[in-house]
Structure 1
Amino acid sequence: MYRQILVHPEDRNLQRILWRTSGDEPVKEFQLNTVTYGLSCAPYLAIQTLHQLASDEEDQFPKGAAVIRRDTYVDDILTGADTLEEARDIREQLTHLCAAAQWIEQR
């Protein structure tokens, strides 16, 4: 999940990696563009991203947005429904809601 959350371009300088495979090589510099797994802020950023997505897409996917707000822990969703049809509807809304994040970045 973390690798799907883009870091704002102004903050990417804070995620640099210096690398070389041997002492004879010049140092290569890399910059991470997504949230880095293992950072203490990563779970917060993941949850905040999902909550923002739920707010942005609530009009189109109300059941999915409610489940994200109520039944999500980091990237795990545990919810239920009274009928199989309702469960399928929730699953479909969650799938489309999460897929909408791809389009937000491209807008």
Structure 2
Amino acid sequence: VKAQKCPASSPFVTSVGGATYGAIFREPFIQVDAETTGGFSSLHTNPAPAYQAKAVAAYLQTSGKRPSSNVNASRRCVPDLSAYSTGFYTVQDGNDQVIGGTSAATPVVAGMLSSI
């Protein structure tokens, strides 16, 4: 669990994380990249909202992972939303390429929100 910096930890933005779905030996799993996707706000002015309290407490009890000493679990947890983020085929300058990560997940969420 890491301390997340601005802009993702800002209370004035909606942060988006990426998730991958896969299977190992026919067992499905969903994976998120903890290094770039989630953690607690590094801003001392950004306390955890009440709606996150139950989920954060459950996570800290069951995950076996504890925040490092530079992380304050009483601060806002990010991301706000996650979306699938692996294997997006794109064409740039006439060349096919596959992209992933939050650079793929964020436009997915933006497109969904624009449809509301």
- TM over 0.5: same fold? no
Larger Rg: 1
TM-score, scaled relative to structure 1: 0.26
Richer in helix (by share): 1
Question: TM-score of the superposition, structure 2-length normalised?
Answer: 0.24
Higher RCO structure (Cα 8 Å, ≥6 apart): 2
